[in-house]
Amino acid sequence: MCTPVLRHLIPPVTLGELRLKNRVIMAPLTRSRAGEGDVPTPMIAEYYWQRAGAGLIITEASQISPQGKGYPRTPGIFSSQQINGWKTVTDAVHSRDGKIFLQLWHVGRLSHPDVQPHGGLPVAPSAIAAEGEIFTSEGLKPLVTPQALTEEGILSTIDDFRKAAENAREAGFDGVEIHAANGYIIDQFLRDGSNQRTDEWGGSAENRIRFLKEVVEAVVPVFGAGRTGVRISPVFDGFSMRDSNPAETFRAAAEMLRGFGLAYLHVMQLGSETCSFDFGALKEQFGGPYIANGGYNGDSAAQAIAAGQADAVSFGTLFIANPDLVSRFASDAPLNDVDKTTFYQGEEKGYTDYPVLSGVPLGGQGEWHWMGLTGQSDKKLKDDAGE
């Protein structure tokens, strides 16, 4: 029997230069398992290897520089050790004919002196603190007022995105996704609630999208437009994020991005104005491949694709608990329950030990280590996943 999922979610799709084996995308998910020096470990390689049945894996957000870091044990892409660690990951995913993009990340004001170089203040477009607390190695601490970036600092940060993309290419990734969502630095520039600059980087929507535009201009030459994606979140309202006219702001952003011929636009569709925001218009304004994200299951994702609302759909929490999610969708099999207590802790527990349909964990001390890959290289998760 050909179910809607088999007809619409499982068939291949072309995004930019990539022909994907299905339309089930693994959303970026912070898991806080990086090793010393924020280096990806063999355990992280195993985790992504297990999930290589996805049409495309988009990795957890990875800081482009020491200044871009916001949370403990998140991986980076700015040191040679980190590049080597990621090589193990890309080798593992490619061994299962998978495709994998690295998500490039700078958290901006959503950081703390505890994780900043020399205990300095985080940076942002404007010296405006987000409300709330942030998790540090010493527990939750109040978010601090960031320092506003100078013109020199803005240009240096843009160049950090370029260098991070070059490092991702060296690490063997198939492409990169620019993280312009979820209240992090590019999103902070986009929205007038967090960007109150009076120079050419603030004020009008055209000025506020300039930072994103110049980041894309810096990154695209590294992989090519057909291997570069962008993620946005027009209605995301966490971390005090708001905009006086999100329709205008994100129309301007989508139309600007349209001119690059990117591989895709990845849109987190959850937030306070989900019902009133016209995501169909946003898709048309962008004009290229569109990945939808936000609380989908197999049936609702298939319906969205069938209705022309998306070309592919990304899943977050479902991929945590179901390394073989594509197979489960295809066979209409029940899904594993997710252990929320291990979202950010637990090492292998709640990370690489979820069972597959046979009831035996995929990888682990058997098949994964036989492959010989481990020695080749010396409230937030829901925000990231959109669920």
Residues known to be catalytic: 184
> Structure tokens of 262?
């990117």
Report how far residue 236's alpha carbon sits from residue 229's, in angstroms, rounded to the nearest whole number. 19
Q: Are 309 and 319 in contact (CB under 8 A)?
A: no
Tokens, residue 132: 């709330």
Separation between Cα atoms, residue 309 and residue 299, nearest integer Å: 14
Distance separating alpha carbons of residues 250 and 246, to the nearest angstrom: 6
Query: How many whole angstroms from its chain centre is CA 148?
Result: 25
3-state secondary structure of 161: helix
CB atoms within 10 A of CB 366: 10
- Burial pattern 86-120, b for ≥16 Cβ within 10 A else e, equals bbbbbbbbbeeebbbbbbbbbbbbbbbeebbeeee
Please list, in sequence order, all residues whose beta carbon lies within 8 angstroms of the beta carbon of residue 266, skipping any fewer than 6 positions away: 25, 58, 177, 181, 229, 230, 231, 232, 291, 293, 314
Q: Cα(265)–Cα(244) distance, rounded to whole angstroms?
A: 23
CA separation (Å) from 116 to 28, 53, 129?
A: 23, 36, 16
Task: Look up residue 282 and give its two tokens.
Answer: 């946003």
CA dist 60 and 26 (Å) reads: 10
Question: Pick from 262, 273, 238: which is nearest to 15 by CA?
Answer: 262
Cα–Cα distance between 18 and 205 in angstroms, integer?
32
Enter the tokens of residue 210: 């300039």
